[in-house]
């Protein structure tokens, strides 16, 4: 089929396509904030799928509310926590002092005439929220489509966990950011000398399968030998690595990396969880851990600096991709190759099944 692509390919998506994209992503858990960035007794603003949210701990429990007061729409996250008799901690709006209980119901209006009831419509929507892997995760739908992903070995006490890093937002859609991490054939072109080598540019053989709520990819590939990762021969210029990738649809990717010929049981874990703030604005949270070199500093400067370089190299490519939202396969705008692009094809296929790819 011939597809007329000029206008939709290069212009921003229609308002309708953007709305559908946000709707399609609502039933999933998204990371919105490092838990360490939320003080014990203050609210914090955040944004998910173009929706302002306030995250706050009330009576020791996490609460996620729409960050808009029901009175005159001031931002609740500018307010403060105060106690209201019978409700404990509540979030008080900074404008006229209306207070909202953890379930979003307004429970105190200072200007109310005595004897009158607070209208039940004075309620702010609240959302599912939980904390895991050092992040606060929110789901905006009534029922999450999948459970929050379990990241292999990340909770294992044998592993030394590095700092959780937050990258400044990329001007790109979340699935494209995940696909850049999943794509294992761009290394020789984008990351030559770091994790790719044009002398070993042949795509790896992939095994790709679904396991419950996640997609798995298993590969072996030759990479330049970088000093701070599981490896068998420090002196060789290249090494063969074995990667087991876990993708929690749609927004989390986790790599378990070992030397291919390794019998030493050394594992390096790297994971990314991305937050779709807006259709073309995506934040990335990044974590790593390892089960060796426990006596070395947790913060490994060379390794972290290399990750920064890799991400900068990826960023200019991903921000250049058009259309902004993944085009459905049927448009034939993309030309994925088999078997080289198999992980990307399978990831996108799953997104399509879940309605996350949007017609351009
Ligand atoms: S706008 Fe929030 S109390 Fe008036
Ligand atoms: Fe990359």
Q: What's the pLDDT score for residue 6?
A: 53
Q: What's the pLDDT score for residue 360?
A: 65
Top-confidence range, 93-97, 218-222, 326-330: 93-97
Taken in order 101, 104, 107, 108, is the CA torsion positive or negative?
A: positive
Per-residue pLDDT tens digits for 240-294: 889 999 999 999 999 999 988 877 889 999 999 999 999 999 999 999 999 998 8
Q: Tell me which residue has its CA closest to atom 1 in ligand 1.
A: 72
Question: Above 80 in pLDDT, residue 353?
Answer: yes
342 inside domain: yes
Question: Above 70 in pLDDT, residue 2?
Answer: no
150 inside domain: no
Around ligand 1, the residues with Cβ closer than 6 Å are: 69, 71-72, 74, 93, 95-96, 98
91 inside domain: yes
358 inside domain: no
Going from the Cα of 117 to the center of ligand 1, the distance in angstroms, rounded, reads 17
Host domain of residue 194: 160-353
Mutate which of 66, 69, 75 for ligand 1? The one with the most ligand atoms within 8 Å of its CB, which is: 69
Q: Tell me which residue has its CA closest to atom 3 in ligand 1.
A: 96
327 inside domain: yes
pLDDT above 70 covers a percentage of the chain that reads 94
Residue 290 CB contacts under 8 Å (≥ 6 apart), including other chains:
159, 160, 162, 230, 266, 267, 268, 269
Going from the Cα of 341 to the center of ligand 2, the distance in angstroms, rounded, reads 14
Q: What's the pLDDT score for residue 8?
A: 63
- Statement to judge: residues 175 and 291 lie in one domain: yes
- Statement to judge: residues 274 and 348 lie in one domain: yes
d(CA 196, CA 223) in angstroms, rounded, equals 5
- pLDDT band of residue 110 (cuts 50, 70, 90) is very high
Q: What are phi and psi of 9, to 5 degrees?
A: -65, -45
User: pTM value?
Assistant: 0.94
- Statement to judge: residues 127 and 42 lie in one domain: yes
Q: What's the pLDDT score for residue 234?
A: 59
51 inside domain: yes
Residue 357 C-alpha from the chain's centroid: 17
For residue 70, the ligand 1 atom closest to its alpha carbon is 2
Going from the Cα of 315 to the center of ligand 2, the distance in angstroms, rounded, reads 8
Of 117-131, 224-238, 271-285, 302-316, minimum mean pLDDT range: 224-238
Q: What's the pLDDT score for residue 357?
A: 80
């Amino acid at each position: 089929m011939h597809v007329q692509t000029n206008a939709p390919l290069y212009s921003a998506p229609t308002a309708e396509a953007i709305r559908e994209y946000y709707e399609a992503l609502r039933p999933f858990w998204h990371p919105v904030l490092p838990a360490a960035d939320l003080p014990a007794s203050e609210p914090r603003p955040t944004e998910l799928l173009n929706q302002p949210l306030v995250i706050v701990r009330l009576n020791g429990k996490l609460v996620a509310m729409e960050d808009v007061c029901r009175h005159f729409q001031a931002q609740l996250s500018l307010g403060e926590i105060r106690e209201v008799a019978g409700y404990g901690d509540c979030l008080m709006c900074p404008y006229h002092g209306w207070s909202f209980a953890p379930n979003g119901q307004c429970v105190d209006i200072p200007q109310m005439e005595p004897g009158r009831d607070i209208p039940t419509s004075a309620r702010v929507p609240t959302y599912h929220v939980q904390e895991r892997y050092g992040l606060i995760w929110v789901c905006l739908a009534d029922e999450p489509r999948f459970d929050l992903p379990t990241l292999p070995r990340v909770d294992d006490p044998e592993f030394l966990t590095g700092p959780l890093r937050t990258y400044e937002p990329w001007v790109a859609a979340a699935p494209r950011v995940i696909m850049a991490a999943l794509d294992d054939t761009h290394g020789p072109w984008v990351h030559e000398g770091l994790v790719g080598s044009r002398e070993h540019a042949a795509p790896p053989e992939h095994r790709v399968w679904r396991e419950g709520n996640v997609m798995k990819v298993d590969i072996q590939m030759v990479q330049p030998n970088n000093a701070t990762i599981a490896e068998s021969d420090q002196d060789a210029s290249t090494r063969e690595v074995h990667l087991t990738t876990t993708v929690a649809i749609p927004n989390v990717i986790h790599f378990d990396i070992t030397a291919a010929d390794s019998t030493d049981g050394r594992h390096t874990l790297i994971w990314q969880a991305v937050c779709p703030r807006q259709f073309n604005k995506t934040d990335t949270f990044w974590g790593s851990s390892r089960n060796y070199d426990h006596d070395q500093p947790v913060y490994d400067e060379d390794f972290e600096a290399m990750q920064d370089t890799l991400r900068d190299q990826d960023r200019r490519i991903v921000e250049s991709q058009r259309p902004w939202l993944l085009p459905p396969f049927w448009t034939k705008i993309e030309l994925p190759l088999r078997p080289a692009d198999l992980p990307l094809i399978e990831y996108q296929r799953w997104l399509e099944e879940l309605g996350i790819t949007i017609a351009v």
